[in-house]
């Protein structure tokens, strides 16, 4: 934004192209989960709004690339760097679990790095929420 000098990312989801009912559910799930959680290792949602055709998510801008791009560039990470990223991912997943959220799409492409080199989990459309009890199970694969 010009006035603050801050950058944001705008994720635009075309609801009309989501003919599959499951895809519409995933879109709603992502918005719901991002509204529920605030954590240093999870992308921040600032605002959301929608029209008849589109859902807009105004997210934190992450100037780094995803972990897959860094792996391609470096070939492999040192044990210390891998441990650093892993610990931050575990902290993020722990925060999600405390809120009853199951993150089901953990892969290098969904782990972004912020401007300071810290992990930020993204892409929550396959996640499941509402699992605050230990005996609940998902009914999907």
Rounded to 10 degrees, the C-alpha dihedral 34/39/42/44 comes to 50
HSE on the CB side for 89, CA within 13 Å? Answer: 18
Task: Give the CATH number for residue 57.
Answer: 1.10.510.10
In tens, the pLDDT along 17-66 reads 766 666 677 777 888 999 999 999 999 999 999 998 888 999 999 998 99
Tell me whether residue 84 is in a domain. Answer: yes
Beta-bridged to residue 119, according to DSSP, are 113
CA distance linking residue 99 with residue 93, whole number of Å: 10
Beta-bridged to residue 105, according to DSSP, are none
- For residue 133, the model assigns a pLDDT of 62
- Other residues' Cβ atoms within 10 Å of the Cβ of residue 11: 17
Tell me whether residue 74 is in a domain. Answer: yes
Catalytically active residues are 105
Tell me whether residue 91 is in a domain. Answer: yes
What is the tally of structural domains in the chain?
1
With contact defined as beta carbons under 8 Å apart, do 13 and 57 qualify?
yes
Beta strands in 85-141 (DSSP E): 111-113, 119-121
In tens, the pLDDT along 63-94 reads 989 999 999 999 999 999 999 999 999 999 99
Tell me whether residue 133 is in a domain. Answer: no
Q: Which residues span the domain enclosing 19? A: 8-121
CA distance linking residue 27 with residue 21, whole number of Å: 10
With contact defined as beta carbons under 8 Å apart, do 9 and 59 qualify?
yes
Tell me whether residue 137 is in a domain. Answer: no
């Amino acid at each position: 934004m010009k006035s603050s000098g801050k950058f944001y990312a705008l994720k635009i989801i075309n609801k009309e192209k989501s003919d599959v009912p499951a895809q519409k559910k995933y879109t709603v799930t992502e918005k719901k989960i991002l509204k529920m959680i605030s954590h240093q290792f999870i992308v921040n949602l600032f605002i959301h709004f929608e029209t008849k055709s589109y859902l807009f998510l105004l997210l934190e801008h992450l100037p780094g690339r995803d972990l897959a791009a860094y792996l391609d560039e470096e070939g492999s990470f040192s044990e210390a760097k891998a441990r650093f990223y892993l610990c931050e991912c575990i902290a993020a997943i722990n925060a999600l679990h405390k809120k009853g959220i199951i993150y089901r799409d953990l892969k290098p492409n969904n782990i972004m790095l912020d401007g300071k080199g810290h992990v930020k989990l993204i892409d929550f459309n396959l996640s499941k929420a509402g699992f605050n009890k230990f005996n609940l199970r998902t009914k999907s694969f």
